[in-house]
Structure 1
Amino acid sequence: MNFLNPFFLFGLLAVAIPVIIHLINLQRPKKVAFSTLSFFNELRKTTIRRIRIKQYLLMALRVLALLFLALALARPFLPPTITGPTSSTEPKVVAIVLDNSASMNRIGSRGPLIEQAKKVAGRIIQNANSDDKFYITTTNGDSFSQDRLLDKKRSNEIISDIEPQNSGHYTKERFLKAYQQLQGAPQAQAMIYIISDGQKSQMLDLKDLSIQRKDNAQKPVTIQPISLEKGKQQNVAVSSITLKNQMISQGTPITLAVDVENVGDAAVTNQFVSLEVDGELLGQHEVALEPGESKEFLFQAVPGQTGNLTGRIIIEGDEVDYDNRRYFVVNIPEERSVLLVKKEEADSPFSSYLQSVLEAAKQSRAQLSFKVQQPNQVTPSQWPNYDAIVLDGIEQIPDYWFQDMQRYVQNGNGLLFFPSEKGAIENYNRFLSLFNAGKFTNIVGEYGSFEQVIKMAEIEEGHPVLENVFAKKGDEDINIELPSLYYYYRYRNSGNAGSIDILKATNEDPLLTEQQFGEGVFLISTLGTDPGWSNLPVNPIFAPLYYRSILYASSSQKAGLQKYELGKAFRWEHALQSSDVKLELDGSEYRPKVEQAAYGVRISYSGQEWEPGILTIKAGKESYKIAVNQNILESRFGSLESTAWQEMISSNALSVNKGIKAGQWSAEELDEKLSASMFGQEIWSWFIWLALLFLILETVITRIYKAESVS
């Protein structure tokens, strides 16, 4: 507790007056013997004791009444927090972090939320002292740089210009920047106001704050959360777009799965979701969803050429407009490039049939081009030029390949592994462990014996590798002679969510397994590709099965959805011919940071000012497109209570006031709350009431408590 008028504390000396009066009353008169009144000597001791108790009680009540009256004149107040501002006259530095996300465009009972937030910020500035300084920042869009703290007039001008931005949010980064600005300010008292609708997508960023006050050199900073009313608009949004096709080519229909979600609390009908490709409307579905319900809609498009197929999904009939369009880019590759690394066959009685499959595919103008190398000819720096790498029968994978191969797959490329009959299991398993891809446990059968140890299990369609392998009508059963296995590696997959067994033996041993890793895919075979392992190489399914396996692995990155999500720095790596790179989005041009990477060029840009659209990357004659979209969380208006803010923000360096719900108060009441948050709450009226209470008690005791009466 502190005092605005501490001079009046000298009034506490007045409490001595009742004590002095009491001491004077204790002086005893002279004793005079008077025989006829001798019977008064028989007064009982209890009556005398009552009189003394009454005197002490009245003295205490009078002392307390004077004490609280003196304290009231000194105007006591409680600071917002124990370490918060303690003086209303000392200059302060105040930061205002204002939420300007797209959700702030919603309409509340007092108008648009963004206007409500700006009015609250204006009242904070208005209630401050003339010599207080300000730092103003927003959560979304490009951050306007402030090299110096602002006065009240300039702060009001900046607040008036703030508008909602349908861009990525940077709540955590902007809060930390505000904290740093306050730490560098000369003022001893500092506060940060956070004004927001409390949307979870914004506020959950503050959960990861890592501010710790390590010494007294750091300035104590008080945080004041201010929440606005919750807008009640209905909203329907496109939550995701995915491709049903894994292997894409020119002239082949692609299927887009579009998830539409009702993020509001009321049912919606008579709305429509449409597919638009290159400005042409290709399909439309009616939308009817219950609150919280999500539904998948399928659209088809046929790429007429290689390159980028660009488009957007549009929702019609929804009043919240900013998330009614979601963009997509599908890359249609002209061909996929494969590097086949194969063993020396001089010492082997059998030859791999895999190269023959690729050569036959090339002759039929398939979508694959390939190059063959021996292990000693391989140069890891050239790997990014290929969409997939096939390791066919290598006895031992060189250790110096490990990290480069791991990065190659992680960056979105494909890898196929076929073991050697003379393979080093320990080396293989160390390699598999890089991808969390399980391990080989032992070997079953005898290589080249042609003695069956087991058969391949029935083939079950469903995986992209097995699509269109068999020509059949409707639900017609697959009727083939299942291959016999003579020799294979027993393998145990990782069992994680990214591991899928594509082919199995009749005893459930995996024969071909997919392991997803990063943005890429790793296919592991437990069989080699020559007749010494099985009769699969001479079976009719061998060629289409392994051709599609290679096609699937090489489709991991070069085909598919090219996307970037707002709210994080844009990073992209590619083997470009030119380092003169520029970015184009919505008619604006940007120059990114360009660095030489191990396998090409690495591009980075903050992207803070970007909004959803189609981003074009240009480097010389090369051009690439990427869809830019908001995180679906920006469409979900669920908010956090102010108590949850306090729990997230609190740390050793930060003191957090109780949240203010601005939507509940009138302008005058809000001013009082804001003033209390900055200067503390005056409590002199409490002391006046206490003083009056003690005076009333003194009067009541004087009249009722007749301690002098004798019973």
Structure 2
Amino acid sequence: MTLINGLLALGGLAFTIPLAIHLFYRSRFRTVDWGAMHLIEGMMRTNRRRIQWLNLLLLLVRCCVPILLAFCLARPLLTGFQALPGDAAQSVVIAIDDSRSMGFATSAGRVRMDDAHDAIDLVLDSLTRRDEIILIRSSDPSSPITRIGPATARSSIDATKPHSGPVDLAGLIQSASAAAKQASQPNPRVMVVSDFQTNMIDDASLTRLQSFAESVSDQGTKFEFLNIAADQSADQQANVSVESITMESAAAVVERQAVFLARIRNHGDDPIEAANVVWSVNGKRESSKPITVQPRSFASVKFVRTFDTPSPVAITASIEFADSLAADNQRTLAVDVIEQVNVWLVDDANKSRFLQVALSPFAFSGSPLTDPVKTTRISTADLQTKLPVSDPDVIVLAGLTEPTSNLRQIIGDYVHNGGSVILFDQAGLDQKRLNSSWGTAADSFQMPAELGESIGSDSPDGDLFAIAGRNADYSPWALFGDTSRDLFSDVQVSSYRQLRLRSGELTTTLVSLESGDPLIVMSDRGLGRIVQFAIAADASGSTLPLRPVFVPMIQQMVLDLAGSNQSMNFNVGETLVLATSDLMPPDQENAKQAAFYFTRPGQDDRLISPQELDGRSVLAVSNTSKPGVYRFRSVVKESSIAKQSIRVMEVLPSESISRGVDPARVQNAADAIGATVYGEPKSLIEDDQTGRYGREIWRWILSALLFAMIAELWISQRLGQHSSGQRSTGQQVETA
């Protein structure tokens, strides 16, 4: 125990005053016997002992009063048996949640992030200028460590805005702990400031925290959770959000209508009436429509647009409505408008005539209209020489018989880097080679299904196999309307190749036979996609190429593959990777002189240098915590040649739901790493002060002092009553 005001403790020596008074002014009595004295001697002895004990107790209480008062003024601290740091400099790692949910307005009209700023300011006020702060944001936990003072930290924290996606609590704590290892002072503190939403603490996070705790048990770091939404209930105010934007068309092609669909969600318990949904293209307002959304439900709004020129565009849907979270009232979708889809038909057996007509009907008929798909028919030999230097959108293998190792490597690399392939069966197709690996050794893969034996025959007397139906979840089928409609009722399959799906791989069956065998399957490979048919591209094994459904089916399938070759939409926090070839002008000599620029939302252009990734030249951006449109462009020196592309970063819709995690679950997460949970900064500061200086007990001593003073009055009254009784009975005569 230590004393803050040690000199005042000397006032406790004042206890000698009542002691001296007692010793020097004790009453003296002379006993006078009288006739009936023997009758009350027993009672007199009993009263005498009682009075003596009461006098001693009164003396003790009177001596304790100055002692207690002195110790109360000296402010003693309980420190146990350990040396406390006191006012020594300390290191504090502040891990702040800057996800979108921190932007929710509270019932008092304040934003949660403002409450977090105020709470952290109180903590900073309790620190000294010698203390160091390390700031970690959940949007960028791997940022370089910077040690700053409380004043600088205050400015940085006040500039923090809620804009990022869901928080990985375990990852945030691990990053904060790694930062604490680089702290200048021993025994650093890690303070996590968050609203602790449901998506932060799941079973996987608890397991990771428990494993993490075992690895840092001897680090000496103190963990603290400050829940700034501890006293707030979920969904305090109405909130409406643009949950998603999807393009219903397979691809956006010049001079053809593209259909977009926005899904509006009402998170509240009251209906949203006459809210205005606005559609914008590249930031320019194009149309608006009022909608009504029922409580806890959705509404969809459609937007149809025809584009005149090929270019990347940003389609934005926003809802004009005042609610508790304004940031989720709009969402953007990046779309690459293309002039034509470039398709190579690889055919050595003259089997692609039906496909060429289906994909480019206007060109085949001599019409002046432009087809959305441009087809080029080449041989496998031409493919092996042209593919390394050209980049088609889709490759259709229609008459392939011998997939050589060189061909498999070239096509495999093409698919791995984002290309799409449609593979048709072919009589005489080398089954063993097709089932082998495609691509280079490091990135090799196999076809979605293993090619099996041929079933059926083309004989007029052979069996016919009926098609069971289509996969309703495949988006290109939306063109054909009702998913229950049988598109293939008039298609006859006389022979097909058995496709055996590979176990452990995610392969989608698009069309199947009534026997259960797949007829068309699809699977992702690397950054690309492969569609595999169990039938030939011509009418040798089925009547599908002769039926009306074949033309729109193939067109939509190719457009879907071309539209999905390169994703332009990502979640905040993901790393953006863009191949420099996508920004290169056609002239390769000028391309060598190209400079690349990159623009974040709300910022100016800055030069970005290419880097090598898997043998490709790419532009990589890792800090993408802010939602919005990220722009890339190239400029060729000493010329006017330029090309641009965009990428859109958006926050997951789960951040639009205000649902705090169960306090017991927060406590479980805290217990896993030995942290303490606080609902207000005042308690955190008090505990820190106690941990640094000890626990003050002057309030307890003050209570004891008040009790002693009351006891002194009570004992004095009892003694007064006994003295009066003795004088009335004449038991003793006081003498000087």
Does the alignment reach a TM-score above 0.5?
yes
Q: Give the 3 Å change call, closer, same or farther, for CA 451–289 of structure 1 in structure 2.
A: same
Rounded to whole Å, the distance in 1 between the matches of 2:328 and 2:359 is 48
AA of the residue aligned to 2:222? V
Name the structure 2 match of 1:297: 301
What's the CA shift for 1:693?
11
Does structure 2 retain, via aligned residues, the 8 Å contact 1:452–1:484?
no
SS of aligned partner of 2:536: coil
1:453 corresponds to: 463
Report the Cα distance in structure 2 between the residues aligned to 1:510 and 1:595, rounded to whole angstroms.
Answer: 42
Alignment partner of 1:382 is 2:388: yes
One-letter code of the match for 1:274?
V
Match of 1:657 among 658, 671, 676: 676
**Corresponding position of 1:317:** 321
Change (3 A) 1:157 1:357: closer
Which of 502, 511, 533 is the equivalent residue of 1:525?
A: 533
| Correspondence for 1:221 | 222
1:119 aligned residue: 118
Aligned partner of 2:161 in structure 1 is: 164
Deviation for aligned residue 1:477: 8.7
The answer to whether the 8 Å contact 2:358/2:550 transfers is no
Corresponding residue for residue 586 of structure 1 = 602
Contact 1:4/1:77 (<8 A) preserved? no
Report whether the alignment pairs 1:489 with 2:497. Answer: yes
Contact 1:328-1:627 within 8 A present in 2 as well: yes
- Structure 1 residue 326 displacement after superposition: 1.3
Cα distance in 2 for partners of 1:583, 1:636 equals 33
Q: CA deviation at 1:525?
A: 0.8
Q: Runs of 5+ in structure 1 lacking a partner? A: 9-64, 701-711
Per-residue deviation, residues 68-98 of structure 1 (Å, max 9, x unmatched): x9x999956589xx99x94334432122233
Are 1:643 and 1:658, in contact at CA under 8 Å, matched by a contact in 2?
no
Moved more, 277-286 or 545-554: 545-554
CA gap of 1:460–1:144, structure 2 versus 1, over 3 A, is closer
Q: Equivalent of 2:450, from 430, 439, 449?
A: 439
Cα distance in 2 for residues equivalent to 1:222 and 1:541 = 64
Question: Residues 146, 384 of structure 1: CA spacing in aligned structure 2 closer, same or farther, 3 A cutoff?
Answer: same
**Is 364-373 or 99-108 further displaced after alignment?**
99-108
Higher mean alpha-carbon deviation, 107-116 vs 276-285, is at 107-116
Distance change (3 Å), C-alpha of 1:646 and 1:570: farther
Q: Given the alignment of the two structures, is residue 629 of structure 1 paired with residue 650 of structure 2, yes or no?
A: yes
Residue 511 of structure 1 is aligned with which of 491, 500, 519? 519
Evaluate the alpha carbon distance shift between residue 127 and residue 340 of structure 1 in structure 2; reply closer, same or farther with a 3 A threshold. Answer: same
Q: Which residue of 1 aligns with 2:46?
A: none
TM-score (norm 1): 0.71
SS state of the match for residue 234, structure 1? coil
Alpha-carbon spacing, 1:162–1:563, altered in 2? closer, same or farther (3 Å): same
Q: Which residue of the other structure, out of 221, 224, 232, is the alignment partner of 1:230?
A: 232
Counterparts of 1:630 and 1:306, CA distance in 2? 27
Cα distance in 1 for partners of 2:197, 2:633 equals 33
Indicate the SS of the match to 1:378.
Answer: helix
String of CA shifts for 1:651-701, please: whole Å, max 9, x gaps. 6xx531133345xx7xxx67535534666655686799899999x9xx99x
Distance 2:507 2:359 in 1: 30
Pick closer, same or farther for the CA change 1:629–1:419 going to 2, 3 Å.
same
Q: Does residue 554 of structure 1 match 2:562?
A: yes
Partners of 2:383 and 2:660 in 1: CA distance: 59
How many residues align? The count is 622
Shift of 1:360: 5.9
Instruction: Report if the CA contact (8 A) 1:277-1:311 is conserved.
Output: yes
Residue 289 of structure 1 deviates from its aligned partner by 2.6
User: CA separation in 2, counterparts of 1:686 and 1:97?
Assistant: 36
d(CA) in 1 for partners of 2:196 and 2:343? Answer: 50
Counterpart code for 2:260? L
| 8 Å CA contact 1:592, 1:605 repeated in 2 | no
Instruction: Kindly indicate whether residue 686 of structure 2 is the aligned counterpart of residue 672 of structure 1.
Output: yes
Q: Give RMSD over aligned pairs.
A: 5.1
Tell me the equivalent position of 2:623: 607
Q: Which moved more, 1:163-172 or 1:264-273?
A: 163-172
Aligned AA for 1:442?
Answer: E
Indicate the larger mover: 90-99 or 535-544.
535-544
Instruction: Answer yes or no: is the 8 Å Cα contact 1:339–1:390 preserved in 2.
Output: yes
Deviation at 1:145?
Answer: 6.6
* Cα distance change on mapping 1:167 and 1:318 into 2, 3 Å: same
Letter in 2 for 1:556: S
What is the 5 A alignment of 1:121-270? 121-129=120-128, 131-140=130-139, 147-150=146-149, 152-159=150-157, 161-167=158-164, 176-200=174-198, 211=212, 218-228=219-229, 229-230=231-232, 232-270=236-274
Instruction: Compute the displacement of 1:315 (Å).
Output: 0.7
Corresponding letter in the other structure for 1:390: V
Deviation at 1:626, TM superposition (A): 2.6
How far the C-alpha of 1:480 sits from its partner, in A, is: 8.0
- Contact kept, 8 Å, 1:191 with 1:678, in 2: the verdict is no
Q: Secondary structure at the match of 1:588?
A: coil
Identity, % of aligned pairs?
16
Residue 323 of structure 1 aligns to a residue in which SS? helix
- Seen in structure 2, the aligned counterparts of structure 1 residues 261 and 586 have a Cα distance that, compared at 3 Å, is same
CA contact (8 A) 1:310 1:330 kept: yes
Measure how far apart 1:300 and its partner are: 2.2
Please give the TM-score of this superposition, normalised by the length of structure 2: 0.69
Residue type at the aligned position of 1:225 = L
- State the one-letter code of the partner of 2:686: E
Aligned CA distance change for structure 1 residues 586 and 508 (closer, same or farther; 3 Å)? same
Distance 1:87 1:587, change over 3 A: closer
Go from structure 1 to structure 2 and tell me whether the alpha carbon gap of 1:247 and 1:180 turns closer, same or farther (over 3 Å shift).
closer
Q: Secondary structure at the match of 2:668?
A: helix
Deviation at 1:285, TM superposition (A): 3.4
CA contact (8 A) 2:402 2:430 kept: yes
1:298 and 1:131, CA in 2 relative to 1: closer, same or farther beyond 3 A?
same
> Highest Rg: 1 or 2?
2
State whether residues 448 and 521 of structure 2, in contact with CA within 8 Å, keep that contact through their aligned partners in structure 1: no
CA-to-aligned-CA distance 1:212-252 (integer Å, 9 cap, x gap): 66589844333343434438332111111112222442233
**Deviation string, structure 1 residues 5-35 (Cα, Å, up to 9, x no partner):** 8x99xxxxxxxxxxxxxxxxxxxxxxxxxxx
Alignment-derived partner of residue 46 in structure 1: none
**1:566: Cα distance to partner?**
1.7
Question: 5+ residue gaps in structure 2?
Answer: 8-63, 439-443, 585-590, 637-641, 716-736
Report the CA distance between 1:563 and its aligned residue. 1.6
Q: Secondary structure at the match of 2:388?
A: helix
> In the alignment, is the contact (CA less than 8 A) between 2:573 and 2:625 conserved in 1?
no
CA distance in 2, matches of 1:554, 1:276: 24
1:361-376 map, 5 Å: 361=361, 362-364=363-365, 365-366=370-371, 367-374=373-380
* Amino acid in structure 1 at the alignment position of 2:610: V
**Partner SS, residue 308 of structure 2:** coil
- Call closer, same or farther: CA 1:133–1:406 in 2, change over 3 Å: same
Q: Which amino acid aligns with 2:93?
A: A
- The separation in 2 between residues aligned to 1:563 and 1:104, in whole angstroms, is 23
CA deviation vs aligned residue, 1:433-461 (integer Å, no higher than 9, x gap): 94683434432134x64543214437769
Contact 1:142 1:609 in 2 (8 A): no
